[in-house]
Structure 1
Amino acid sequence: MTIIHERSQEPTIEERLAELQLIREGVRQGPDPAATERQHAKGKLTARERIDLLLDADSFQEIEPLRRHRASGFGMEDRRPHTDGVISGWGTVYGRTVFVYAHDFRIFGGALGEAHAQKIHKVMDLAIEAGAPLVSLNDGAGARIQEGVTALAGYGGIFRRNTSASGVIPQISVMLGPCAGGAAYSPALTDFVFMVRDIAQMFITGPDVVQAVTGEEISHIGLGGGDVHARLSGVATDVYDDEESCLEDVRYLLSLLPSNNRELPPAVPLADPPDRRTDALLDLVPTDPSRPYDMRQVITEIADDGELFEVQPEWATNIVCALVRLGGQVAGVVANQPLSMAGVLDIHASEKAARFVQFCDAFNIPLVTLVDVPGFLPGVDQEHNGIIRHGAKLLYAYCNATVPRVSLVLRKAYGGAYIVMDSRSIGADLSFAWPTNEIAVMGAEAAANVIFRKQIAAAADPDATRDRLVKEYKAELMHPYYAAERGLVDDIIDPSETRTVLIRSLEMLRAKHATMPSRKHGNQPQ
């Protein structure tokens, strides 16, 4: 918007302010109303509506709202809207500073050009310098073709800053529209990726390219929709039916996270008594190690007010990763899920848990590990696809973690999976077990078949002999106190006192200080 002054003298400050106010109102209104109607017709909110949902009321401070691109040619010289298709700035979430940028699909389809990228670079730099979380609201058509390689360079600057910010400030990507090609790598570099069903898509090559190269026909949603990434690829933290519930969960997650890696997670006044008994666990968890139960119910029984934020609940469902509060303090919980694949560890479960452990360690979030694991998943497919190196990721993450670490064996813990699930031998500060625990190299029957194979085969009644030897093995090497007698478990606790023991343990460890060997960085398994 341009105002022509008819008078020869210089405008007064009042006139300049009036001019600025008119420009700002035009910027806030955005492009023509038809563009907003088209956005709403797709079931999508505008960028500013999304920011209003994310941040506390009237807290948003926009930066560079008057920015315009300087490209010429290809029809760009006559299309120079303010903001250049991205709105950036900062505000608060529950009173704490959060930086945000939001693609405005109504302007150039949210495509990234030079000025657009520089605005994002600026807000990312500010977030890192201020030590505050960064949230990106993604709804863009990729690189702006009219600006050529400068658009690609803009993405490179974003990726570099994503990497620099990793482990320094929490980074959250919210997918609210298309995100294709190289643009998809920025969300992949962040800590959490939220997606809204039916309107969000992420893929490196779109359906047309896939069909041209492989002959496979698939829709945009079928290739990279929210459910695909929540259930199959593991890219998405979670998927939601609408933007409102998605952004409300982003706010809740931010309330659990520290602003940066130099702070502790925010504590809240204690309402749920720390010494509350958890008698319900006696009924929730069957004593028979082969019977399934829902580990989520165990976590909610232990957590303050039964609340948890689960990460990737639909992917690798044989393990549960969640943020909870215990005694008013935030903790990360990693737990086997007997309801899915008996809670075994496999490639995907190992990757999911390893990344969660690394995130918690980076941001000073104590770890609680609830163990009920029969081992690693056997199979040719698992071996050929690298269960060795993928399983080692979880082992590496735990061994590298310096935050307070408390583990609890509920029932069974067999073989290498026992070691990997934060056993005392890899650095857990405290290890507890219920009286129903079975910690061993393998199950009693499998062990007896290996150790006493010849004796069983030569017996007049092999079945009776096997049963007797299984009982002897369990009595000698798998009784609930075997590990405690050898100092590998700190105590056998009453399940009804689980919450109290965990809270007391984490309280004692709050000031823990651990040092690591001097090094540039480790070389974790890939």
Structure 2
Amino acid sequence: MTTATPRSVDAPERDGLTELTHIKEQVLHGPDPAATERQHAKGKLTARERIDLLLDPGSFHEVEPLRRHRATGFGLEHKRPYTDGVITGWGTVHGRTVFVYAHDFRIFGGALGEAHAAKIHKIMDMALSAGAPLVSLNDGAGARIQEGVTALAGYGGIFERNTRASGVIPQISVMLGPCAGGAAYSPALTDFVFMVRGTSQMFVTGPDVVQAVTGERITHDRLGGGDVHGGTSGVAHFVHDDEADCLEDVRHLLSLLPANNRELPPRTPCDDPKDRSGEALLDIVPTDPGRSYDIRAVIEEIADHGEYVEVHADWARNVVCALARLGGETVGVVANQPAVLAGVLDIHASEKAARFVQFCDAFNIPLVTLVDVPGFLPGIDQEHGGIIRHGAKLLYAYCNATVPRVSVVLRKAYGGAYIVMDSHSIGADLALAWPGNEIAVMGAEGAANVIFRREIQSAEDPETVREQKIKEYRAQLMHPYYAAERGLVDDVIDPRHTRGILVDALAMLREKHADLPSRKHGNPPQ
């Protein structure tokens, strides 16, 4: 018997392995331990710690960890750390592939240069080719000034790829530090933006520039912090108190989304009976159309186990947009919120709902619309601010959507706002209503004042005549079955059965196929 002789490893190869080990240690721990301490002292995690929280344990595969810049001059020739300040690669979230890049603030403050940008471009291209979501963990100081215009060109490449990937793969931006100047436009091009209070800020021009130009003094947080963008500007969809909770919610959001626009959202086994009692709905929604209530309580009663993810919870609160599951299927819910401004549609609410509808349609997520709307918000500010243009955005989004669409009128639906909230006339697959619904051009009081104005004014007892005409109008044109009799509502349903009816309707529509006219793209109102 011949015994195989073990292959010897010569000295140069052993030396090469030793050098590789040394280099990989630098890559993993960074060039300066003090920089890690400074990052932690700010209450911030390092880029690798963030990736570890986002991805499943042990699943991360890094791309180009040994990349270094080639710039010379302005002091950079003496500082050429590995990774060049950004960590790129892929891993899994709940077992599904996700691509990620994370700015490493410990290296050049996370500033973007030519090599840094090239790494991001590469991982974005890989995500698009693989058809998998892309998550960016942002913590950078903007363009690397020492590299001049090449840094700006790097941002251009990112923006172009953000746009090309839009509606093809989910793109999520997680703001975990500063993001200033042109860098802020990449998150704005993505589907969802997460921010962390106290540590993340976004602005095009910082406090110093604002003060120099306008004379106003303002802090970084008050100018572009999480609460500002979550509640005032609408730039941020989710705002969290710490990084760990933020990244856990990113993981949960990804679990609800398909990998790309060619797939349906992931289905999960559902042990929440579709026909469970919805008795609470009778108490949640008052029959008096003038009384307010919280629409989120209705969503909780309908959704699997009462769970949902609200998008833009603190911005344009008169409309609620949420992702939930019904019978184990991901659905997008758009609902008027009577607890805020009586649930009217205004500029911000229209814009918020329109973009959410477009996202759901792009990624094959069925839409459920819960309607309780008194109309569009009147006022000079609204008209001059372009309520016509912004309201048309929501109308366009619904009309353009080809996913399964089911609407339910819970109480009232007046005027143009009724049409816009996914009525039958703009393409809803099923339009349902609860008993007691009022679908009309306007409320009975306003209608009577217009139609019978002269008769009321000339009457001996105007108030009595007015009340009589209100009752007459309501009885003839606003009774709960008026729209159903004319085929504008497919059925009037028992509120307690809403969940089961929606689950069955969406199952029926699961294989829906709808073609849009052949065109390069539409021209939606801006």
Compute the TM-score of the two structures, normalised by the length of structure 1: 0.98
- Tell me if 1:164 matches 2:168: no
- Cα distance between partner residues in 2 of 1:221 and 1:206: 10
Partner of 2:304: 304
Partner of 1:26: 26
Q: Shift of the alpha carbon at 1:197?
A: 0.2
- Cα distance between partner residues in 2 of 1:470 and 1:54: 58
- Cα distance between partner residues in 2 of 1:89 and 1:404: 35
- Cα distance between partner residues in 2 of 1:520 and 1:355: 20
- Cα distance between partner residues in 1 of 2:79 and 2:521: 47
The residue matched to 2:74 in structure 1 has which SS? coil
Partner of 1:430: 430
Partner of 1:253: 253
Partner of 2:3: none
Q: Shift of the alpha carbon at 1:276?
A: 1.5
Q: How does 1:263-282 map to 2 (within 5 A)?
A: 263-282=263-282
The residue matched to 2:271 in structure 1 has which SS? coil
2:17 is aligned with what amino acid? L
Q: Shift of the alpha carbon at 1:26?
A: 1.6
Q: C-alpha offsets along residues 453-496 of structure 1, whole Å, 9 cap, x if unaligned?
A: 00000111000000011001000000000000000000000000
Q: Shift of the alpha carbon at 1:424?
A: 0.1
Q: C-alpha offsets along residues 136-191 of structure 1, whole Å, 9 cap, x if unaligned?
A: 00000000000000000000000000000000000000000000000000000000
- Cα distance between partner residues in 2 of 1:10 and 1:525: 69
Partner of 2:223: 223
- Tell me if 1:110 matches 2:106: no
**Identical columns (%):** 78
2:96 is aligned with what amino acid? R
1:331 is aligned with what amino acid? V
The residue matched to 2:332 in structure 1 has which SS? strand
2:339 is aligned with what amino acid? L
Q: C-alpha offsets along residues 30-70 of structure 1, whole Å, 9 cap, x if unaligned?
A: 12111001000001000000000000000000010000000
Partner of 1:179: 179
- Cα distance between partner residues in 1 of 2:276 and 2:489: 23
Partner of 2:5: none
2:182 is aligned with what amino acid? G
- Cα distance between partner residues in 2 of 1:49 and 1:189: 26
- Cα distance between partner residues in 1 of 2:130 and 2:169: 9
2:442 is aligned with what amino acid? M
- Tell me if 1:355 matches 2:355: yes
Any conservation in 2 of the 1:313–1:320 contact (CA below 8 Å)? yes
The residue matched to 2:140 in structure 1 has which SS? coil
- Cα distance between partner residues in 2 of 1:223 and 1:31: 33
- Tell me if 1:411 matches 2:402: no
Q: Shift of the alpha carbon at 1:289?
A: 0.4
Q: Shift of the alpha carbon at 1:436?
A: 1.6
Q: Shift of the alpha carbon at 1:11?
A: 4.5
The residue matched to 1:314 in structure 2 has which SS? coil
Q: Shift of the alpha carbon at 1:279?
A: 1.0
- Cα distance between partner residues in 2 of 1:26 and 1:216: 44
1:168 is aligned with what amino acid? V
- Cα distance between partner residues in 2 of 1:242 and 1:140: 18
Partner of 1:459: 459
Q: How does 1:75-474 map to 2 (within 5 A)?
A: 75-474=75-474
Compute the TM-score of the two structures, normalised by the length of structure 2: 0.98
Any conservation in 2 of the 1:93–1:254 contact (CA below 8 Å)? yes
Q: C-alpha offsets along residues 279-330 of structure 1, whole Å, 9 cap, x if unaligned?
A: 1100100000010000001001100011000000000000000000000000
Q: Shift of the alpha carbon at 1:10?
A: 7.7
The residue matched to 1:68 in structure 2 has which SS? coil
Stretches of structure 1 that go unaligned for 5 or more consecutive residues are 1-8
Any conservation in 2 of the 1:277–1:500 contact (CA below 8 Å)? no
- Tell me if 1:67 matches 2:67: yes
Partner of 2:508: 508
- Cα distance between partner residues in 2 of 1:226 and 1:256: 24
- Cα distance between partner residues in 1 of 2:38 and 2:10: 42
The residue matched to 2:261 in structure 1 has which SS? coil
- Cα distance between partner residues in 1 of 2:522 and 2:168: 17
Root-mean-square deviation (CA, aligned residues, Å) is 0.9
Q: Shift of the alpha carbon at 1:502?
A: 0.5
Q: Shift of the alpha carbon at 1:12?
A: 3.8
- Cα distance between partner residues in 1 of 2:495 and 2:31: 61
Partner of 1:496: 496
Stretches of structure 2 that go unaligned for 5 or more consecutive residues are 1-8
Q: Shift of the alpha carbon at 1:17?
A: 2.3
Q: Shift of the alpha carbon at 1:277?
A: 2.1
- Cα distance between partner residues in 2 of 1:11 and 1:66: 23
- Cα distance between partner residues in 1 of 2:115 and 2:11: 29
1:39 is aligned with what amino acid? Q
- Cα distance between partner residues in 1 of 2:45 and 2:437: 51
Number of residue pairs matched by the alignment: 518
The residue matched to 1:77 in structure 2 has which SS? helix
- Cα distance between partner residues in 2 of 1:10 and 1:19: 15
- Cα distance between partner residues in 2 of 1:89 and 1:300: 37
